[in-house]
Chains A and B, each alone.
Chain A
């Protein structure tokens, strides 16, 4: 006999049910049993990043994130991150065959205070700036000399940042999920606050997910030495007031299960930024039109509006017991920057207890339309100009390997080492005079070590 459905059943199916391997696991006399373990409801994720640029910046960044499930359909999370950066960094000035002296604001002290300190951080010398008549304070500057043929770096670069975030995720229906959160970040010269909210809707038996999210961020910049007037000469004078920046982002995503072994995500994101986006510590060199020697260092200037767009295509493919993660991102903005990012990871996991995951990332970007290696004396000053290599044309590769040891769903330990190599055009065509023999792109090589520990209970 078969299971019979009522006669009015439109399907009218006689359900002959064949089990491929019918098995009976009798529990014996039914007795009260409690599960040996409740599924974990809290996860603590922690990581430590050690970042080291060769001859440049070093940083240490510990991070932690805790997420807790309440009532099975809501999750609350909070995270903290701290980072400490020290070292030296390029600030936009070009190298020269002659020694170069630079100066930046260091401190403001009340007039009459004896000045006993002669050197500032990073080996710079304290210089006294004559006070303005009637002023009650005087400014101390820090000045440093860069020897010939050396790429100019600003030493004594340091920063300490503390960031926190709170998040919430909730299933509204079996198909609809809501998520939201706030974040706050503070460093000694910058503060950022943001909030985001998003919705995700599942279709096709949870095979398709459409998601949309918006993020709003408000930043305040209060640089050491104040905010400089753009395209004025680099000096030790204390500069202008604080500035702000507002950013709105929107993301649309489509995640699709392609088949049992392949998950694909396509997302589009759009950002609008309004406000101060110049780097208050960076300059652009003005050089002699014949010799190419720097004659002036001017503070840079970037537009106060920026519109960014990117498309991101991500794939996770399960192969045997391994997983391939391959993604592609295309980016462009109205500053003229266009970039492409390709990322590939292969998680080799022959055993449930450990995996080895090599990683390759390739990145290529075009320069912003107001990027210049330097300006030429005598030519009209452009409205916007920056020599920041972050806005230059370059390509970068990341080579890494991650090793991890997961244990059930209780904990995981992992370690990742990576090498990042950024390379740009240090000898552009048309370089003037002495600049022809200089490397105009401050090559960047960095090593990172990431240690992680996740615990669920």
Chain B
């Protein structure tokens, strides 16, 4: 599905169709390669994670503000119970793509050490910053890191 789209602007109708198809999709490989040239903010979250409730509005904000500067926010959910994640998304709407990783395979690969975890990947695909935990008072610091990465060229 990712391979077809270069951007994430999908009409709600198509999105709904894709959602239905995704539910019956087999395990596929999560491929960040299509984001080469963009800055990726990979966020690991769960419905049971209190600070995630504060991070989501901020993530929605940066996804909105920096989309034109090629920021992509991808949230990876680690809930074991999908319905809990969906309930969370009802209360704290995402506005950015969400991936499901209930077995923690992606989390293991990125060596997540705390919840939530943010992994900031630069335009050439290198992991440049990784944060464990989210505190609203540090939003300025997170923002600064984004500006550094967004300011770089894609080489």
Q: Would you list which residues of chain A between 22 and 66 have a CB under 8 Å from chain B?
A: 22-39
> B145 near A: Cβ within 8 Å?
no
Query: Are B95's CB and A30's CB within 8 A?
Result: yes
> A17 near B: Cβ within 8 Å?
yes
| Residue on B nearest A409 in the bound complex, by CB | B50
Q: Mark B9-28, 1 if CB is under 8 A from A, else 0.
A: 11110110011001101011
In the assembled complex, the CB of A205 is this many whole angstroms from the nearest CB of chain B, namely 5
Binds B, one of A3-11, A288-296, A365-373: A3-11
> In the complex, A37 Cα to B90 Cα: how many Å?
10
Candidates A28, A31, A39; contact of B53 at CB < 8 Å: A39
Candidates B28, B50, B93, B105; contact of A39 at CB < 8 Å: B50
Q: How many A-B residue pairs have CB under 8 A?
A: 142
> B99 near A: Cβ within 8 Å?
yes
> B137 near A: Cβ within 8 Å?
yes
In the assembled complex, the CB of A19 is this many whole angstroms from the nearest CB of chain B, namely 5
Query: Are A35's CB and B125's CB within 8 A?
Result: no
Q: Would you list which residues of chain A between 366 and 387 have a CB under 8 Å from chain B?
A: none
> In the complex, A15 Cα to B132 Cα: how many Å?
20
> B1 near A: Cβ within 8 Å?
yes
Known: A30-B63, A33-B60, A72-B135. A25 touches B91 (CB 8 A): no
> B129 near A: Cβ within 8 Å?
no
Candidates B8, B51, B103, B110; contact of A20 at CB < 8 Å: B103
In the assembled complex, the CB of A398 is this many whole angstroms from the nearest CB of chain B, namely 32
Query: Are A3's CB and B105's CB within 8 A?
Result: no
Query: Are A27's CB and B93's CB within 8 A?
Result: yes
Chain A interface residue count, CB cutoff 8 Å, equals 38
> In the complex, A236 Cα to B114 Cα: how many Å?
67
Query: Are B125's CB and A23's CB within 8 A?
Result: no
Query: Are A19's CB and B105's CB within 8 A?
Result: yes
> B109 near A: Cβ within 8 Å?
yes
> A1 near B: Cβ within 8 Å?
yes
Candidates B15, B109, B137; contact of A28 at CB < 8 Å: B15
Query: Are B9's CB and A17's CB within 8 A?
Result: no
- Range, interface on chain B: 35 or more
Query: Are B18's CB and A24's CB within 8 A?
Result: yes
> B126 near A: Cβ within 8 Å?
yes
Known: A24-B22, A73-B135, A174-B133. A1 touches B33 (CB 8 A): yes
> A18 near B: Cβ within 8 Å?
yes
> In the complex, A5 Cα to B106 Cα: how many Å?
15
Known: A6-B126, A34-B57. A20 touches B19 (CB 8 A): no
Q: Would you list which residues of chain A between 103 and 128 have a CB under 8 Å from chain B?
A: none
Query: Are B95's CB and A18's CB within 8 A?
Result: no
Query: Are A22's CB and B10's CB within 8 A?
Result: no
Candidates B57, B103, B126; contact of A35 at CB < 8 Å: B57
Q: Would you list which residues of chain B between 91 and 108 have a CB under 8 Å from chain A?
A: 91-103, 105-106
A-B interface, 7 closest residue pairs, ranked by CB to CB distance from nearest: A1-B33, A26-B15, A17-B30, A39-B53, A27-B95, A33-B93, A25-B98
A contacts, CB < 8 Å to B = 1-6, 13, 15-39, 71-73, 174, 205-206
B contacts, CB < 8 Å to A = 1-2, 8-12, 14-15, 18-19, 22-23, 25, 27-33, 50-51, 53-54, 56-57, 60, 63-64, 67, 89-103, 105-106, 109-110, 113-114, 121, 125-127, 132-133, 135-137
Known interface pairs A3-B33, A17-B32; 17 further A-B residue pairs with C-beta atoms within 8 A, sorted by A's residue number: A2-B31, A15-B110, A16-B29, A19-B105, A20-B102, A21-B25, A21-B100, A22-B25, A26-B19, A27-B94, A28-B12, A29-B11, A31-B95, A36-B90, A36-B92, A72-B51, A72-B135
